[in-house]
């Protein structure tokens, strides 16, 4: 029963391969991982593996390392930058609502243009800061001239 269930799962997951191959036996070597590899590590290597793999299983992480298919690393949110940009965003939304509520024929006043310009400059300054997008423990690349 288990073998039939496994074959059914393979068939469901690989319908495009089945259309190309009429023989189910050709499908098995292409999709099933049948080879087992064992590796011995010392304490330091095991600790390094455990640190790098996080919540991923050891075998899965080693397979991803071999195939160079790591999941993308999403940096932690910089809370201070998030708060500053949120406040600026709210101010810009208020300015946009004010401008939208004006009649179509009226021109923008110098005060309104100045407020928009000031908010855009503030956003630019926050975005140009080097520490907004980098993690605190992230180093900078060194110039490696020969």
- pLDDT, tens digit only, all 146 positions of the chain: 444 444 444 444 444 444 555 566 666 667 788 888 899 999 999 999 999 988 889 999 999 999 998 877 767 777 777 888 888 888 888 888 888 888 778 887 888 888 888 888 887 777 776 555 555 555 555 555 54
pLDDT for 12 equals 47
Largest Cα span, the chain: 78
**Cβ atoms of 83 and 52 closer than 8 Å:** no
- CA 128 to chain CA centroid, nearest Å: 21
Contact partners, residue 81, CB within 8 Å, separation at least 6? 126, 129, 132
pLDDT for 78 equals 74
pLDDT for 45 equals 94
């Amino acid at each position: 029963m288990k073998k039939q269930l496994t074959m059914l799962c393979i068939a469901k997951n690989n319908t495009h391969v089945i259309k190309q191959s009429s023989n189910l036996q050709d499908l098995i070597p292409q999709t099933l991982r049948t080879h087992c590899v064992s590796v011995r590590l010392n304490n330091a290597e095991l600790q390094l593996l455990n640190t790098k793999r996080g919540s991923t299983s050891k075998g899965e992480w080693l397979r991803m390392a071999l195939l160079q298919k790591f999941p993308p690393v999403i940096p932690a949110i910089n809370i201070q930058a998030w708060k500053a940009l949120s406040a600026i965003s709210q101010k810009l939304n208020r300015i946009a609502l004010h401008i939208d509520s004006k009649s179509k024929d009226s021109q923008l006043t110098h005060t309104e243009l100045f407020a928009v310009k000031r908010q855009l400059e503030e956003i630019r300054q926050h975005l140009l800061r080097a520490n907004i997008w980098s993690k605190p423990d992230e180093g900078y690349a060194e110039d490696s001239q020969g």
